[in-house]
A and B are shown apart, each in its own frame.
Chain A
Amino acid sequence: MNIILTIAQGVYQRIIKSRILYVIVVFCLFAIAYSTLYSAVTAGEETKLMKDIGLAGIAVAAMLISIMVGSTAIPAEIESRTIQTLISKPVKKHEFILGQFLGSVYVSLLSIAIMSVGFIIILAIKTHALNLIMLKPLILICFEAIVLVAVSVLFSTICSSMVSSILAIVVYIAGHLSYQIPFLVERAGNVVTKFIGLFLYYALPNLQYFNVKAPAAHGICIPWGLVFGVILYGAIYTAVMLLVSLVIFKNKDFA
């Protein structure tokens, strides 16, 4: 079997035994179920509200899980020095990084899948219809999670898990605001401000691309072209993060 997959599986086996993951997933499903009770005050918009809450809950949980898992995987191996044993075996450094990355991604996607199935079922019970239109935002939530894992992995090759998760959250926030930069840059007179603004705009992941929750909740058709384009965007950004992690990791000592 492939070494990368073995390492990924190891990551999965270890994380799956941690309780915090279940807490987040169960809490999210509970919040979705609870939102069905709110129909009295929603003035006929209860399905929209339910969809909003469901998608937002899953998005938040996905963000928390992917950042948590992505930023602890590598530091856990370094701090506990299990990496020494692993590197003393025929494991190349890129295999190590990719294994940690894939394991973290697998855990994140699995949790999103569980929450999504729960959400679709609750929605189906409430609306007597299978809301498959929800799949598109859910797919993009998955890809946003992948990008966030990659960002966390990159930070975790430099910093402790605590610091990298904080940095990853900063990227998450900035990534969801960066779409506003062009509007602000237009108004800015200063050339330097403009330059910095545009640099940030292109260097940060534009996470707002991954957010099609609102149109989906309104039942507006999201073109597949957009979905695939965003997936490609996420894949390329992820590749960049992993390449940089690799370069950093290659020159690292584990003694």
Chain B
Amino acid sequence: MKSAKASIQIIIAIMLLVGLMPLGNTLNNIKEDAGLADRFIQRPALGFDNIAADILWIKTIQYMAGIKKADVKSSNITYEMFERITDLDPLFTGAYTLGGLAIAHKTPAKSLILFDKAIAHNLNIGWRIPMFAGVVSMHNMKDYDKSAKYFALASEVKDSPFFLKRMQALAKARSGDLGTALILWERLYNSSDSASVQIAKRELVRVAAEILKTSTNNKLRNKADRIIKEIL
């Protein structure tokens, strides 16, 4: 009788343990949806990863303060440190921002790797990091297409400032995709943001003139033509 009771208890225990499997999967899904999923990292710190990140952060700040003359080598080291920090604490936006901007001058490609990591790991990243990524691609990488993509991303963030859309159009124009640039400026021209309308007016004329000068696409030329006439 006693052993029967014990076996029932053991069976209940096992059933409960089995019941934890679907519950665990549900929890994983909730975490995934909230952008809090656990990721595999090489050297985890037992639930104290963020503290490890903080210690490394302080060390990195001290390292950066000690750099006499920034070069590619120190920039690479800085990058590695920020990689590790953000491995340990993928939500640490401050680390992506500081790291990405600090190494943008000497190693812009790595800077973009950090910004990309931030964007990949964070649901609510805000508009600043994509904006920084856009600026770095534009100024340091001269990759205007990519830059336009980052600005587009930044401008889609809720409550992001309006100038990001202008940056996107600007980058598109510089990338040589005059057709898209024209569409973007036209949209801004018709928007309710008065500062943008003024700038858009000027830029539309400039892009349209550029099209008329260089493009062989007749449809585009006609559109540019029409716009210039409309504005002037």
Contacts and interface: CB of A to CB of B under 8 A. Distances in A.
Interface string B9-31: 11011001101110110110011
Interface in A210-255: 210-215, 217-218, 220-223, 225-226, 229-230, 232-233, 236-237, 239-240, 243-244, 246-247, 250-251
Contacts of A183: 40
Contact of A237 (B2, B5, B20): B20
Contacts of B35: 220
A110 to B, nearest CB: 22
Contact of A173 (B12, B16, B23, B46): B46
Contact of B50 (A52, A180, A244, A246): A52
A16 interface: no
A211 B26 CA distance: 16
Interface size class of A (residues with CB under 8 A): 35 or more
Contacts of B54: 45, 48-49, 52-53
Nearest to B50: A214
Interface string A44-66: 11001100110010011000000
A209 B27 contact: yes
Contact of A42 (B30, B33, B58): B58
B21 A202 contact: yes
A106 interface: no
Interface of A: 38, 41-45, 48-49, 52-53, 56, 59-60, 172-173, 176-177, 179-180, 183-184, 202-203, 206-215, 217-218, 220-223, 225-226, 229-230, 232-233, 236-237, 239-240, 243-244, 246-247, 250-251
Contact of A214 (B26, B33, B58, B91): B91
Contact of B16 (A38, A59, A207, A240): A240
Interface of B: 2, 5-6, 9-10, 12-13, 16-17, 19-21, 23-24, 26-27, 30-31, 33-36, 38, 40, 44, 46-51, 54, 57-58, 61-62, 89, 91-94, 98, 124
B94 A44 contact: yes
Contacts of A239: 13, 16
Contacts of A207: 47
Most buried by B among A48, A177, A221: A48
A221 B123 CA distance: 11
A250 B13 contact: no
A208 B10 contact: no
B6 A250 contact: yes
B120 to A, nearest CB: 16
Contacts of A43: 57, 61, 94, 98
Given A237-B20, A240-B16, A226 B10 contact: no
Given A48-B94, A53-B54, A236-B20, A177 B46 contact: yes
A211 B94 contact: no
B61 A42 contact: yes
B58 A41 contact: yes
B10 A236 contact: no
Given A42-B57, A223-B34, 15 more contacts: A38-B58, A42-B58, A53-B51, A59-B47, A172-B46, A202-B20, A208-B38, A211-B47, A229-B26, A237-B20, A240-B16, A244-B10, A247-B9, A250-B6, A251-B2
